[in-house]
Structure 1
Amino acid sequence: MPAACRHALLGFALALTLIAPAIGDGRQDHEVARRALAAGEILPLGVVLERVGREHGGEVLEVELEHDDNRWIYEVKMLRRDGGVNKLIVDARDGRLLEVKGRHGRRGGRH
């Protein structure tokens, strides 16, 4: 299985289990994520990770799906090729990149 597919599957599993605890209505986190996907409120994580991978490269370390300010957000932590870590904030409805937060890598660049 290609690395991109493995990352997509891993990320999808993470997204189904790592929804922000602010959704405290008694439903399981993965059920909330599945309902949001079925309702068309969010893109499948595989689609988002494919876009992010093409544009930013690196390796996906962690994915969270959060519902914040009436908007679904994917937070994707990626290990850059220089050893630094980027946190990408992506609108889960349309896949639009909202923000990139970076940490210095071995070469000291901030991205």
Structure 2
Amino acid sequence: MLLTFRVLVHTFRVLLLTFRVLLTGIHLMRSGEVRAHLPALLEEVDAPAYLPGLVRAEAEREHGAADVDHARVRADVERLHVLLDEPQAASGLPDVPVGYDALYGLVVRVRPQGDGLPQG
């Protein structure tokens, strides 16, 4: 986690991407709905209070260095991982994808003939 964290807080963009992924995952596991718009997620998930300010700062200087309290961000990221793990553990979703063969069969059936690609 430490190596990932050091990379994580380098820029606003990367920092906010990390929070966007975590909050989207939490929302998805709780609701079954994909929502990746960070400002909307801030209202629905117990997000750190400083995130709205980071969103505004990113709009001003996306690739600038993120001047944040690294220890606080690390603690928040770890807390959000726990929030993501809880609904994931309670989810009825399988641990591994189970639809690969069915999807492959569908693609093969609907693929136009004569395209030079192997069939079935």
Q: Establish whether TM, by shorter chain, passes 0.5.
A: no
Between Structure 1 and Structure 2, the one with more strand by share is 1
Structure richer in helix, relative to its length:
2
Larger radius of gyration between Structure 1 and Structure 2 = 2
- TM-score when normalising by structure 2: 0.27
- TM normalised by structure 1 equals 0.29
